Structures are given as structure tokens and as C-alpha cells.
């Protein structure tokens, strides 16, 4: 994804925000892998910017616990651990069903159709073993729901969890592939269509529980 060239003052602030949002999204969707060195020069070249906004973005991400900066040449996503994944998934289980419930009154027919499209893309990614495609479609599905509620802080909090969850689950999916992944989203779509808050809460919780079960499987294999 190319980002417009550097500029000063207000435009420069907008650029820094754009770089930060892009790196945040890459973490959320697992496109930055754990323990792989992150090159500020390489990212700057990819985004078409100088290294300064990339360094600024990485510093913000480090403050949020998404990356670890030991020196200018040693920047990585912390290595995955079962305990860390479990903690993140439990936090998701507390917050995300509530976010979905708050969003339900705002999920109209047009959004429901976009959810069906995102779920179809997810299923297609599962069939072809495309982990990146799966994670991108999974992110799109969940945040179409959570972002529907205006003025709530929960989607941004959830994104911060997903910044840590994304790279770690990408590593987990790299070990197990996509054959063990299931699609619980049809339950959420059905709940939204029926305007059932309890069913939507249960569907989101079941989706997260599937991830927790995968973590348990990785622990038993270790």
C-alpha cells in the first residue's frame, strides 16, 4: 500500500497517522510475523515515505505492546506464547460480544449483505488454504459489526487486542494450516437477521472459543 509523500505540519501529522494505521492493520491481519526483524528502511520503501514516520509509528506500537524495540536494528513482534494468546482471547471473549450487542440496532440490510460477502470471501480463503485471505476477511467481518455502533470506544480497544492477536495467530495458523479452522460467522449473520441479541452474543463468543480451542491444541502438541 503506497502512502502519499512526506509533508510538513498538518499534512505531516496526517501522514504519520496513515503510516501508523497501515502498520496497525498489518499487525491485526497477521502480515507482520513474530520474531522476524522489522526493517524501518524496508517499510519506508514499501509505503513510499521516509523512515521518520515509520519510526514514529513503531514507537507508538511498542508503547501499546504490539512490537518490541531493543535497538534501531532490533525491532520485532514478541514471540508467541500459549499463555499470551490465551490472555488475549479471554479479553476478546469479555469485550467483543458486548461490542456486537451494542452494534446490533445499527446493523441494517446493506451491512448484512456486506457481512455475507465478507463471510463468502473467508470461506473461499479457507478452501484454498489462504491464511492471509482468511485473516483479512475475518477482520473485515468482525469490524463491520463492531464499527456499526456510533461513538463507542470498544472497536478501538478491540483493535489493540487484535494487534497482538494477529501476528501470534498467524504463527499458529502457519503450524496447523486452514483445515482445522471453522466458520462460525453464519450463526452471527442469522442472529443479526433475526435481531436476536442473545444469539449474536453467543455466536461471537463461539467464534472466539474456537480460537481458544486452537490454542489448547497447540499447547497439547508442545
Query: What is the tens place of the pLDDT at every residue in 42-74?
Result: 999 999 999 999 999 999 999 988 999 987 778
Distance of CA 81 to the CA centre of its chain: 18
CA–CA distance, 29 with 66 (Å, rounded to integer): 13
Q: Is the pLDDT of residue 219 over 90?
A: no
- Helix H segments across the chain? 9-28, 40-47, 51-63, 82-103, 109-127, 131-146, 154-176, 185-194, 197-221
Residue 187, classified by CB atoms within 10 Å of its CB into exposed (0-12), middle (13-18) or buried (19+), is: middle
Q: Is the pLDDT of residue 169 over 60?
A: yes
- Predicted TM-score (pTM) of the model is 0.86
Q: Is the pLDDT of residue 165 over 90?
A: no
Mean pLDDT of 5-31: 83
β-pair partners for 34: 77
The pLDDT of residue 174: 72
Q: Is the pLDDT of residue 166 over 50?
A: yes
pLDDT band at 222 (very low <50, low <70, confident <90, very high): very low
Q: Which residue has the higher pLDDT, 168 or 48?
A: 48
**Residue 177: left (phi > 0), alpha (psi -120 to 50), or beta?**
left
The yes-or-no answer to whether 9-76 and 82-221 have a common fold is no
Q: How many CB atoms lie within 10 A of CB 57?
A: 24
Correct CATH for 9-76 of 1.10.3720.10, 1.10.10.10, 3.20.20.70, 3.40.50.300: 1.10.10.10
The pLDDT of residue 176: 67
The pLDDT of residue 8: 53
- Beta strands 74-76; 68-71: pairing state: antiparallel
Q: Is the pLDDT of residue 147 over 60?
A: yes
Distance of CA 33 to the CA centre of its chain: 13
Q: Is the pLDDT of residue 179 over 90?
A: no
88 Cβ contact list (under 8 Å, min separation 6): 161, 164, 165, 168
What CATH code is assigned to 82-221?
Answer: 1.20.120.530
The pLDDT of residue 7: 46
What are the sequence ranges of the domains in the chain?
Answer: 9-76, 82-221
Q: What is the DSSP letter of 104?
A: G
Amino acid at each position: 500500500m503506497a502512502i502519499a509523500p512526506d509533508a510538513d505540519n498538518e499534512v505531516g501529522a496526517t501522514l504519520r497517522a496513515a503510516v501508523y494505521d497501515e502498520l496497525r492493520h498489518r499487525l491485526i491481519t497477521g502480515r507482520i510475523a513474530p520474531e522476524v526483524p522489522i526493517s524501518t528502511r524496508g517499510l519506508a520503501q514499501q509505503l513510499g515515505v521516509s523512515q521518520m514516520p515509520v519510526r514514529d509509528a513503531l514507537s507508538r506500537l511498542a508503547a501499546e505492546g504490539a512490537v518490541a524495540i531493543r535497538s534501531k536494528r532490533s525491532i520485532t513482534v514478541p514471540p508467541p506464547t500459549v499463555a499470551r494468546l490465551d490472555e488475549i482471547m479471554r479479553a476478546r471473549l469479555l469485550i467483543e460480544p458486548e461490542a456486537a450487542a451494542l452494534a446490533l440496532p445499527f446493523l441494517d440490510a446493506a451491512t448484512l449483505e456486506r457481512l455475507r460477502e465478507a463471510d463468502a470471501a473467508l470461506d473461499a480463503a479457507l478452501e484454498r488454504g489462504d491464511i492471509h485471505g482468511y485473516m483479512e476477511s475475518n477482520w473485515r467481518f468482525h469490524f463491520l459489526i463492531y464499527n456499526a455502533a456510533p461513538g463507542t470506544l470498544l472497536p478501538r480497544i478491540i483493535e489493540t487486542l487484535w494487534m497482538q492477536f494477529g501476528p501470534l495467530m498467524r504463527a499458529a495458523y502457519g503450524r496447523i494450516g486452514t483445515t482445522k479452522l471453522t466458520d462460525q460467522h453464519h450463526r452471527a449473520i442469522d442472529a443479526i437477521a433475526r435481531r436476536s441479541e442473545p444469539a449474536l452474543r453467543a455466536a461471537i463468543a463461539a467464534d472466539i472459543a474456537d480460537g481458544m480451542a486452537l490454542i489448547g491444541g497447540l499447547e497439547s502438541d508442545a
